[in-house]
Amino acid sequence: MSRSLLTRAKDAALQKAIRAFLKPKLQRYGELKDFTLDTAAKRVTARVLLHGESTPLAVTEAHYRLERDSGQWFVVIYGIKTSKPWVQHLLEDYFPQLRFKVPEIVRALIS
């Protein structure tokens, strides 16, 4: 029980930090409404209200893995499922994986 409580606390703290990181990066495109992270399943979900859209884009499932390359850590997001077909097709056709550099402290929290 304490392990699961610790994991949930870690996920909650990390979610808050990621939301703060993503908010300014997404402002050009819309507003991050919800974001959840499950480090045990290595999965994220989100809702983003895109500019010009009346309903939020739901990211219902996105898996992640960590990779090390030349001494740098990266998080790779893959298997993304979205609620809007045009976004889903765009991801499948051009962005099947999204790769972002992450600081060591973040890597330690999400691994």
Please state the pTM of the whole predicted model: 0.80
Query: 32-50, pLDDT tens digit by residue?
Result: 999 998 888 999 999 999 9
**Three-class DSSP category at 97:** strand
Tokens for 104?
């060591």
Q: Is the pLDDT of residue 17 over 60?
A: yes
Q: Give the chain's largest Cα–Cα span.
A: 44
pLDDT of residue 39: 85
Q: Which amino acid is at 109?
A: L
Q: Is the pLDDT of residue 94 over 70?
A: yes
Give the residue numbers spanning the domain of 21. 2-110
The whole-number average pLDDT for the span 8-18 is 82
User: How many domains does the chain contain in total?
Assistant: 1
Give the N- to C-terminal CA distance of the chain in Å, as an integer: 20
User: Phi first, then psi: what are they for 81, rounded to 5°?
Assistant: -120, 130
Cα 70 from Cα 17, distance rounded (Å): 26
